Structure 1
């Protein structure tokens, strides 16, 4: 879940229904948090490009960046836990196959 419990610990939603009400709410909250993080980065970039940011403005931005990074990491952790576990040997073999295929196309003068 994209929010902590009352003790600040990660919340987990245990469901088999990815389209259930709580799953949809969590997805919407995650999307909002990621959108806000993007907007915050734009704001900080604009603030820093002016070269005249005050110490108070910088402290405020650092606080918001900390909150945003915490939310973004929580989203990444949550989404990462939903990914299937990959077999390292099978992944390595697939990568080698893709590289060999790309290399073969390059040797033949085909698009890369």
Structure 2
């Protein structure tokens, strides 16, 4: 059975959205596209933040806005990483898969 995929968006009240399927559906492809956009936006924001910090001429409002934007980008990137990490197959011989106490 394929595990549920964490989607890169949430419900209006902030709860996570999941998709069950084989990864070939329209919603799955849309999620792939949204993930790519979110990661591109995060990369652009990193560059902007580096320039912002290098100039050292920001106001407190600009600093607050940058913190808000970075937090949003980090939240989205974390969701993408969780989703992709959960879809990485774990080999049957992985000690994390066994029930032995030494694997925990």
Shorter-chain TM-score tier? 0.7 to 0.9
* 1:85 Cα deviation from its structure 2 partner: 2.4
Runs of 4+ in 1 over 6 A off after TM superposition: none
Answering whether residue 75 of structure 2 is matched by residue 57 of structure 1, we say: no
| Larger gyration radius, structure 1 or structure 2 | 1
Question: Residue 3 of structure 1: SS of its match in structure 2?
Answer: strand
Structure 1, gaps ≥5 residues long: 90-112
More helix by share: 1
Task: Please name the residue that 1:8 is paired with.
Answer: 14
TM-score (norm 1): 0.74
Match of 2:77 among 72, 89, 102: 72
Aligned residues: 89
More strand by share: 2
Structure 2, gaps ≥5 residues long: 1-6, 97-104
RMSD (Å), alpha carbons:
1.6
